[in-house]
Structure 1
C-alpha cells in the first residue's frame, strides 16, 4: 500500500493544485503542531497559520489544525461534561445573557474555558431542553436545533448557538456539511482524472450494487503500477495524513481493502507525513 499526497502520479494522474506537493518531515509537522497549540478553533486561526506558513494551502493548514485540536478535545472533554460543571456553565450563560442579550456569551465562555464553541453550544442547548421538558431530549431534536437554530424556542439562545456554530472551524453541523462536500468534491476529481487517462474503474456506488458493503472509493478493473507498486484500488482522503489518523484508517479500512482486493493506493489530498507507516 502506498500513501500518496505529494503529486506522485497514478498512470499519469496529476493535479495542478500546488498543495498536492505537500510531504512534510516529522520535524516539520511537529513545528506546525506547536503553532496550532497556541490558537483557538476560530476562523481567524487559519489566517494566522497561513501568515506563518505561506507556502502551505489553507486547506492543508486547517486539516492539520483540526486533527490536532480534535485530539486535544478528546483528552480534555470529560472535564467539561460533569453535571456540576455543566450546571455552572448554564447558570453563567443565563446570567450573562440576561445582562447582555446581544453579546456572544456562549462563544466567549467556550473560549475562556478552552472548549470547542460548537460543543459548548451543544452542552448548553441540551441543558436548556432538559429544563423545558423535564427529561433528556432526543438526539434527533438536539441535532435538528443545532443545524437550524431558528427552531430553538429561545431567541437569545438561538442566536448564541448560531454564533458558536459559524465560528467553530473544527466541530459542529456546518463543519460536518463542509467536510462531506469537500470529500465528495475530491472523489469527483479523482473520477475525472481516471477517465482522462482512459482507466476502467468501479466506484463505491457500483460496488454496493454488486453486494460489497465495505469498499474503497475506486476499484481499478485493470491494475496499474505506481513507483513499482501494483495498485488495485484507490482511496481518497480530503485531509492531511498524520500518524494517528493513518493508523486508524489502516485498522478500520485499509487492511480490510488489502485483504479483499490486494494492494492499493491512498491519496491524502492535503499532504502527509513523509515517513508514515505504509508497510
Structure 2
C-alpha cells in the first residue's frame, strides 16, 4: 500500500502517543482500519526504533543504569512473581528487551566482578535458562516475549519474514519464466554487494528497463529508504544498471522519485513485467 507523506506523518504522530506494549497494535488498527496489520506493525517498529536511538544514551548513562538495577533488586525482593523488568520498561518508556539486557549485564558484573562479552550476553538473551539466577531468567524471558520490536525473538521473526518474501519473489519470477541469479550465485562470481536477484535478460516494468530486483519485507519510509539508497540501491545501480525495489508492506509514494535515474518502487510484484526479448 502506498501512503502520502502526510498520511504517514499522521500515523507516526499517533504512534508517538502510545506506550510500546503489544496492546498498542490494537489501538493502531482501530485508528487506521484500512491498513493491514503487517503494514502498521512495520511502521510502528520503524518509529519505535527512532525513539530508541534518540533516548539510547540517556538510558545507558551509568547512573541511570545503576538506578534501574537497584529498582529491579528492590521490587524483586518485595515480590519475585511480579514482572518487574517489564513494568520498569513500560514505566520509563524503553524497550523491554534492552532493559533486560542492561540489567542482566549489571547483574553478571555484580556476580563476577567484571563485564561479560557480547557473546555471553547474547547467548543468555537467546536462551534465558543459561542465566545463573532463575528469577532473573524468568524476568528476562518475559521481556523478550513481550517486546514486539527488539530482542532475539523479534530478530528471528524478521529474518523468517524476510526469507519468506524472498521465496515469494523467486516463485513469481519463475512463474513469469524470468531467468535470474540469486545472491548466493552472485557471490560465487565474486560480487560482494548484490541485490536479491539479477535478471539474466533485462525486463520492463511500466516502460522502465530493470536488471535487478530487491525484496524488502518492510514499509519504505523516508529514513529507511534514504539509508537503503546510500548503502545498497545506488551501488546496485552502479554495477548492474536500473532496478526494481519491492516494499511488500508499502511505502511513501513521494519516495518513488528516481524512476528516470533507474530505481523503481513497487509494493507488490508487478503484473505487467515483460522481458525485452518477448
TM-score scaled to structure 2, two decimals? 0.91
Describe how 1:1-279 pairs up with structure 2 within 5 A.
22-276=1-255, 278-279=257-258
CA distance in 2: counterparts of 1:259 and 1:234, whole angstroms: 14
CA distance in 2: counterparts of 1:204 and 1:61, whole angstroms: 29
CA distance in 2: counterparts of 1:252 and 1:25, whole angstroms: 24
Q: Secondary structure at the match of 1:275?
A: helix
Residues 45-94 of structure 1 show CA distances to partners (whole Å, capped at 9, x for unaligned) of 21211121112111100000011110111011100111111011001100
CA distance in 1: counterparts of 2:162 and 2:119, whole angstroms: 24
CA distance in 1: counterparts of 2:153 and 2:21, whole angstroms: 13
Q: Secondary structure at the match of 1:231?
A: strand
Residues 204-257 of structure 1 show CA distances to partners (whole Å, capped at 9, x for unaligned) of 111111111110000000011111211000000000000000000001000100
Q: Secondary structure at the match of 2:255?
A: coil
CA distance in 2: counterparts of 1:278 and 1:171, whole angstroms: 31
Q: Which residue of 2 aligns with 1:3?
A: none
CA distance in 2: counterparts of 1:45 and 1:147, whole angstroms: 25
Higher relative contact order (CA 8 A, sep 6+): 1
1:277 CA drift (Å): 5.3
- List alignment gaps of at least 5 residues for structure 1: 1-21
1:41 CA drift (Å): 2.2
Residues 15-35 of structure 1 show CA distances to partners (whole Å, capped at 9, x for unaligned) of xxxxxxx10011111111111
CA distance in 2: counterparts of 1:278 and 1:129, whole angstroms: 50
Kept in 1, the 8 Å contact 2:12–2:47? The answer is yes
CA distance in 1: counterparts of 2:222 and 2:138, whole angstroms: 38
TM-score scaled to structure 1, two decimals? 0.91
Q: Secondary structure at the match of 2:93?
A: coil
- List alignment gaps of at least 5 residues for structure 2: 259-278
CA distance in 1: counterparts of 2:12 and 2:51, whole angstroms: 11
CA distance in 2: counterparts of 1:228 and 1:197, whole angstroms: 17
1:100 CA drift (Å): 1.0
